[in-house]
Amino acid sequence: MYKKIFLVIAASAFIFNFVKAQNVIITGKALDSVTQSPLISATVVLNDKNKLTKYHGLTNKKGEFEIKDVKRGEYTLKISYVGYRDFEKRINVKDKNINFGNLFIAQIKITTEEVDVTANAPIGEQKEDTTIFNASSIKTLPDANAEDLVKKLPGVQVESDGTVKAQGEEVKKVLVDGKQFFGEDPTLSLRNLPAEVVDKVQIYDKMSEQAEFTGFDDGQSSKTMNIITKINRRSGTFGKFSGGYGYQDKYIASLNLNLFDNDRRISIMGITNNISQQNFSIMDILDMGGGGGLRGQFIRMAFRGGGTGGFRPSGGGTRMLSQSGIGDFMVGQMDGISTTHAFGVNYSDDWSENIEVSGSYFFNYTENRNERTLNREYILTSDSLSYYNQNTDSYNKNNNHRFNMRLKYDIDTNNSIILRPNLTVQASNVDNNQLSDYLLSDGNPLNTSDNLYKSSYEGLNFSNEFLYRHRFETKGRTFSISLNTSFNDKRGSGGQFTESIYYQLSQTMYDTLNQKSLSPVGGYGLSGNVSYTEPLSDNQQLQFSYNANYNSNNSDKRTYDFNPINFDYDLLDTLLSNKFDNYYFTQKGELAYRLKTDEMNFTAGLAYQKAELNSQQDFPYSLTMDYKFDNILPSMRLTYKFSKTENMNIFYRTSTNSPSISQLQNVIDVSNPMQLSTGNPELEQQYSHFLMGRFSSFSADFNNVILAFTSFNYRTNTIANSTFIATQDTTLSGGIILPAGGQLTRPVNLGASLNLSSFFTYGFPINLIKSKMNLNIGGSYSRTPSLVNDVTNFSNAYNTNLQIVLTSNVSEDLDFTLSSRGNFAITKNTIREDLNNNYNYYTNSFNFQWIFWEGIFINADLRNNFYTGLVQENNNDFTLLNLSIGKKLFTNNAGEIKLTIFDALKQNKSIQTNVTDYYIEYSQNKILQQYIMLTFTYNLRSFGGMQRPNLFPGPPHSHD
């Protein structure tokens, strides 16, 4: 049936291609009246006699616009751009196309008398679903980077590990002038772009390339930040060179160089240091950041129960895992102390009038050492507890190459092709030594273990997207097809030597495990999407789409015991070996409707999806599991503009999620003899409902900002944890012994789960002290099912956070930020409602930077963290103070020399608390302590001069 539908759509598309509308095309080019530079993404509209907008569009990167299918009549052409005067011209459309040529738009001038009130310049505006902030309304120091700028924006938060959140959601992409900049790494982009080149910051939900073309959201949108550069900073050479050396051979050297020549841009970055400075995110396709076994770490982290999550208030950073089957993992700064070497280059250019290309290459090598102390309190039954203590000494080496590219080819005005290949290659070596013990609630030991684990893995991920787009002469009629391929391969080996002592009432037992495992994992994916849109009227459309997606994955884990006869690992352990393949195939047909008016953009769709999940186990015995699913998937999106300054977005979508191969593979991971994990080949897909609402409001003078966000996620057939905690020695399937106190975790399908989160920001100026205040309020609730010793448990987690941020807007010589944040966490597990799992933590920070007499400057960074409601709260409180003093050097203060003392109070810590469905956990990691460093920095700034073009007097002429 789908094949027939596709043939009908394709045939109709080619037939419609020969139907030519006789309406007029209006073209032109919007330029700055002084610099003659193009105005990118300027709004172009045609209003009728009643001032109603009949046609609208945006200028491209060359400032060009094209409005098709304009009917005969009288209109007013209006071009709007923030910071520029509106351009208006009355036109009479007849039978001939109109080309206005170059239209020169004048900037809004600020007179001498107005200089004193520039602190109250408009902070931004709202255009449909895009929030736009003006960088000129924010004062930063001369050597600040883009991250320093955006963290002052209302609703934007930047964590210590570089994670950026905007309007309550994590920013996944940072673009520069609409193009990729060092791939899609927000940390790398923001920390390597100086604030002084930024003109505007756009925040929006970026849809896929195909969805942007059709106007119909396909559910693949991601929170995106687009940095628009100043017109007079798009041509020149700028960057920063820095080097420092300190006590106990601490060092850092970094390079940031940008070569901009309008469209042609080359950016180079490099860094080497042994003070845990990363300034980028790692695509950790091997999931080796946490150490331990490849599969075991995935199970333990990705399927952690529905707790409140961890809090890591100091240097270690937060690990972010994105479960995508064969997708990459984005990793923030690692725990412990790291030595890092990294290099990257980004390139973008327009090779011709119709070919646009961008790409980047990035390499990093990291050596990480960590000493971790972990304490857990396990909830066994309604009246039973046990305790687990672990000390880990780890040494990890990791190198990573990643390459990405985007090529756009405009064949003509109606046809275009986009190609997007991405490649990541990684190698990792892990060396862990772990001491652990289990205790009963009365303090008697159950088990002690000494575990040595070593591994060496290599991996490769490749993906490619091909998109063809065709626009018919009839406005709103389009045809597009996307083809996506992906391939991944991960292979390597791990060795494990474990000595365990098990304490029993009558005797003490000793056990030794000496094994080596080979774990090749691979897979590929193929997907395609065909879309056809048909106009119903000037502001209504229908879309017909068909999507097919095929994913195949395989894993062949072989575990070998040590042979004392020939001193080799050649004794196959069939209980810990497994060969497993699975594939997931979906077909989806969708009909969608779109209505767009001046105030509203509404889309609704209904899809039917047929899916098949097949799993095949070939070793140690044959097993076949085959599931088929039929689902109805509704979706809806609404954008409504109440006024020029108030905007609302509502989004609803349903989806299915299939289990990954690591969840399905039925082989036990014994990398920790007391914490075993295994897969479940009987897993089925889960079904999700996602509802999101967003509201934004700017005051009449654009100085007060209100941003509100809320989301609700409801899942049925949830993939959750089933944990068995042995109260006595237990024989598992296949004869494996699980000692008393040990646990076995496997994923299972349970009932419903839900997550509710909200975020509210109110930003306003305090003119008396030339500063801005941001008030942030956030909250979340999650209800997650699990099984603990076959007893159903629901973990209800409540989290509320309040934050007050005061940022200076005084001058470019004085900068301070005062912040106070309180987080209040409550976790209630139905299996033990009597336990108090509530805790609060507070973070107060003050950052002060002042350049005063003769270029001398001082910097102070103070952060205080403390907990309440925890047993070990006295060990969690600390204050981190960093101090610097320095002197600006050379012409225009291009250089500086600075003396820094890090952790002046010697209190720095890296701690984490986590409350889940069956344990409460406290951990502490090794972290960099006090050091003193002398640093020299040189800022390079050389921008091309701008000349006033020769303008012809009088208004532009139309060509009728």
Residue-wise pLDDT tens digits, 772-802: 899 999 999 999 999 988 888 898 999 999 9
In b/e form, how buried is each residue of 314-333, taking b as 16+ CB within 10 angstroms? bbbbbbebebebbbbbbbbb
Considering only residues 634 and 833, tell me which one the structure prediction assigns the higher pLDDT: 634
Long-range residue pairs from 501-504, CB within 8 A, at least 24 positions apart, any chain = 501/447, 501/448, 501/449, 502/446, 502/447, 502/729, 502/739, 502/740, 503/444, 503/445, 503/446, 503/447, 504/729, 504/740
Contact at 8 Å (CB) between 772 and 807?
A: yes
* Residue 121, pLDDT score: 55
C-alpha dihedral sign at 914, 917, 920, 922: negative
Contact criterion met (CB below 8 Å) for 655 and 434: no
| Choice between 508 and 901, residue whose per-residue pLDDT is larger | 901
Residue 950 has pLDDT above 60, yes or no: no
Residue owning tokens 């004048």 = 106
Residue 660 reports pLDDT greater than 50: yes
Task: Compare 124 and 933 and report the one with higher pLDDT.
Answer: 933
Residues sharing a CB contact under 8 Å with residue 578, sequence separation 6 or more, in sequence order: 555, 556, 557, 617, 619, 620, 665, 666, 667
Q: Give residue 452's pLDDT.
A: 94
Q: What's the pLDDT score for residue 821?
A: 93
Mean pLDDT of 31-60: 80
What rounded mean pLDDT belongs to the chain? 83
First CA to last CA distance, the chain: 50
CATH topology of domain 294-943: Maltoporin; Chain A (2.40.170)
Predicted confidence (pLDDT) at residue 113 exceeds the cutoff of 80: no
R_g over Cα of the chain: 30
Q: Please tell me the distance from the alpha carbon of residue 41 to that of residue 14, in angstroms, as a whole number.
A: 31
CATH 2.40.170-classified regions of the chain: 294-943
Q: Cα angle at 339 between 338 and 344, to 5 degrees?
A: 115
Q: What percent of the chain has pLDDT over 70?
A: 86
Note the pLDDT of residue 394: 94
Distance, in Å, from the CA atom of 706 to the CA atom of 54, rounded to the nearest integer, reads 30
Q: SS3 of 255, please?
A: strand
CA nearest to 717, candidates 693, 688, 751: 751
* Three-state DSSP class for residue 133: strand
Residue 319 confidence class, pLDDT cut points 50, 70, 90: very low
| CA 960/CA 100 separation, integer angstroms | 10
More confident residue, 283 or 867: 867
CA distance 44 to 58: 6
Bigger pLDDT: 701 vs 809: 809
Domain with CATH 2.60.40.10 in the chain: 2-105
- CA-based angle 750:752:754, to the nearest 5? 130
For residues 670 and 917, what is the distance between their CA atoms, to the nearest angstrom? 22
Buried b (16+ CB within 10 A) or exposed e, 897-933: ebebbbbbeebbbbbbbbbbbbbbbbbbbbbbebeeb
Tokens 């990257």 appear where? 344
Residue 568 pLDDT greater than 60, yes or no? yes
Identify the pLDDT of residue 385: 62
pLDDT tens digits along 519-549 = 899 999 999 999 999 999 989 999 999 999 9
**CA–CA separation, 638 and 657 (whole Å):** 25
Q: Which pLDDT band holds residue 952 (cuts at 50, 70, 90)?
A: very low
Contact 603, 636 (CB under 8 A): yes
pLDDT of residue 648: 92
Structure tokens at 781: 């609730």
Q: State the pLDDT at residue 487.
A: 95
- pLDDT at site 714: 97
> Model-level pTM?
0.80
Residue 659 falls in which region: left (phi positive, over 0), alpha (psi -120 to 50) or beta: beta
> Do 257 and 267 contact (CB within 8 A), yes or no?
yes
Cα-based torsion angle of the residue sequence 317, 319, 322, 327 in order, rounded to the nearest 10 degrees: 100
What pLDDT is stored for residue 114 in this prediction?
Answer: 37
Between 3.40.50.720, 2.60.40.10, 3.20.20.60, 2.30.30.280, what CATH number should domain 2-105 receive?
Answer: 2.60.40.10
- Strands 173-176 and 222-229, how do they pair? parallel
Pairing of strands 24-32, 98-105: parallel
Residues 54, 598: Cα–Cα separation, whole Å: 9
Report the distance separating Cα 396 and Cα 399, nearest Å.
Answer: 10
